Amino acid sequence: MRIDLAGRRALVTGGTGAIGSRICAALARAGAQVTANCAESDLPAAQEQQARWRKESLEIALEPFDVARFEACAGALARIGTVDILVNCAGITRDAPLRRMQPQQWQDVLRVNLDSVFNVSRHVIEGMCERGWGRIVNISSVNGQKGQFGQTNYSAAKAGVHGFTMALAAETARKGVTVNTVSPGYIDSPMIRAVPEDIRARILEGIPAGRFGQPQDIADAVTFLCAEQAAFITGANLPVNGGQFMSA
């Protein structure tokens, strides 16, 4: 299926990370004009990623701002202008069993992983509805569906992401705007490579597909949900987890 996003303007939060960078590249290859958000502290690494995109003949703009701050998002969106496609991909982990989790660990994860979805979406949704076309894709996680030891903060935030998706999808369905969730399983990335080898092996045993996902697997799912061909899909959660978690 050929996906044509020519003339569409896309913003990807967390757009220079392992998954976000592949989403940006996939949208750009489909013809979208893409801006990648990054944290201001990550700007040097983001510029290195931008150089790698250019080697792939992809021109992707950078926009550093703090997605956890509503006012920072307002300023950034004023600079960026029209956004037709928003991918909320920014996320962090601060893992600990709840009995040892500190309030700051809870608050940091909720602010970046969940509050950011409101902070950015709030500034683009009115324009999408007025223009009668828009795509919002929120990146959740398999651990938002099934939970995970040591991740009460992360699992709560990622479960909340899909609740947000369903509610906003109901608000915008008649306006030509779709809102969907993609829930990745364990993806081959620096995060999973940092897990001790024995734990990584146990995780792999629980994936029926027999492999970790690739960032491109997530990018392809996101790009599909942004396509004209996906206009009748809204409020959905698309699991991309190799069969690790299946639900009706």
Active-site residues: which are they?
154
CA separation for the pair 225, 113 (Å, rounded)? 21
For tokens 């080697």, name the residue.
55
Cα atoms in the 13 Å half-sphere on the side-chain side of 209: 15
CA separation for the pair 219, 233 (Å, rounded)? 17
- Strands in the chain per DSSP E: 9-13, 33-38, 61-64, 85-88, 134-139, 177-184, 237-240
Q: Sign of dihedral through CA atoms 67, 75, 138, 111?
A: positive
